[in-house]
Structure 1
Amino acid sequence: MMNFEKTNKNLFLSFWPEFKEIVSAQETYAFDPDMSQQQAYSIWVEQPLESYVLVENDIVLGSYYLKANAMGPSNHIANCGYMVSKHARGQGVARQLCLHSQQRALTLGFKAMQFNSVVSTNEVAIRLWQKLGFDIIGTIPKAYQHKTKGLVDSYIMYKWLAEKDL
């Protein structure tokens, strides 16, 4: 049975090889491919408001962080990042991570969610986010240095989460 757990040091360490592989691939995340385990832990677990893992049989299938996208008058918009283990891809894990993060965002008082840089070549993720109600609200031309495709665009994606505008 799959269940969500707040990410702690041990859970992150068990996910670290997958995290490192995803970042090193330089296909989806604008993180330093040479970042240390401690830097990754800080960015993914310590700095955000929350970080969760989806676990099945003591194996971390995926993880996400949740934080405010901006401060002050824009702190009602959440921002998340998601990673799925390569052996769990195509099994609905990203969908579960995104749905869980939206519920957590609402619980924490956020009214909307924004993804600041979805790499345009990450077509599977883009289709999923759109199916889950996110719209592409902007394109950042040549924003991402893809390891094999060179400079590619990134999208800003957004979804209003609250049922009514307060």
Structure 2
Amino acid sequence: MAERLIRLARAEDADALWTILEPVVREGRTYPVDPTASRADVLAYWFAPGKTVFVAELDGCVAGTYYLKANSTGPADHVANAGYMVHPAARGKGLARAMALDSFARAKAMGFTAMQFNLVVATNHAAVHLWQDVGMQVVGRLPHAFRLPDGEMADALVMYRLL
């Protein structure tokens, strides 16, 4: 079994993170980030103010990443939000599940009482299945909220879980 470590991202992780972020963003099927965005813009999105970024290592190599942040402000700042990406070569090895469970534990330790995903593309069946398997529930459906690369419109799901 591969050795896993999830830790805070560091500045020197930027190149490794780009190998994860770029293929997902360029594919244009799961994240609301312009598929033509520059490296600088994508990294700025991932490391935006208010986000705490983590990396997941498999056998010492950065293979996944997630960010954790408050989903909203003021009276709704007790609900967390997170985004996850796994390097294409590391998919199917349980890394996304490990990062999800890690993010739930860290969010709870930070004082959050729930996790909300605002835009899970309904055609991303693997993600929808995984999120439901770790306790997220679909609480809303946004018809035609995401434009796929071929121009087809996909629904987006809002998912929620108490921590």
Same-fold status (TM-score > 0.5): yes
Sequence identity percentage: 37
What displacement does 1:84 show? 0.5
What displacement does 1:128 show? 0.7
- Supply the distance in 2 between the matched residues of 1:98 and 1:123 (Cα, whole angstroms): 16
8 A contact 2:20–2:63 mirrored in 1: no
Match of 2:96 among 94, 97, 107: 94
- Supply the distance in 1 between the matched residues of 2:111 and 2:139 (Cα, whole angstroms): 23
- The TM-score, its normalising length taken from structure 2, stands at 0.94
8 A contact 1:24–1:33 mirrored in 2: yes
Gaps of 5+ in 1: 162-166
What displacement does 1:149 show? 6.4
Dislocated runs of 4+, deviation >4 Å? none
Amino acid at match of 2:80: A
Aligned length: 161
- Supply the distance in 2 between the matched residues of 1:135 and 1:57 (Cα, whole angstroms): 32
Q: Aligned with 2:72: secondary structure? A: coil
8 A contact 2:19–2:87 mirrored in 1: no
8 A contact 2:64–2:87 mirrored in 1: yes
What displacement does 1:36 show? 2.1
- Tell me the residue number matched to 2:29: 27
What displacement does 1:40 show? 2.0
- Supply the distance in 2 between the matched residues of 1:40 and 1:111 (Cα, whole angstroms): 29
- Tell me the residue number matched to 2:13: 11
- Supply the distance in 1 between the matched residues of 2:151 and 2:34 (Cα, whole angstroms): 18
- Tell me the residue number matched to 2:155: 153
Amino acid at match of 2:45: I
8 A contact 1:48–1:65 mirrored in 2: no
Match of 1:80 among 72, 79, 82: 82
- Tell me the residue number matched to 1:50: 52
Out of 17-26 and 45-54, give the one that drifted further: 45-54
Amino acid at match of 1:48: G
Kindly provide the CA deviation profile for residues 31-60 of structure 1, in whole angstroms up to 9, marking residues without a partner as x: 011222222222212423311000123321
8 A contact 1:65–1:80 mirrored in 2: yes
8 A contact 1:8–1:45 mirrored in 2: no
Q: Aligned with 2:16: secondary structure? A: helix
Amino acid at match of 2:62: V
Gaps of 5+ in 2: none
Kindly provide the CA deviation profile for residues 6-65 of structure 1, in whole angstroms up to 9, marking residues without a partner as x: 112221321202211100101100101122222222221242331100012332111000
Kindly provide the CA deviation profile for residues 112-145 of structure 1, in whole angstroms up to 9, marking residues without a partner as x: 0000000000001101110111100000000000
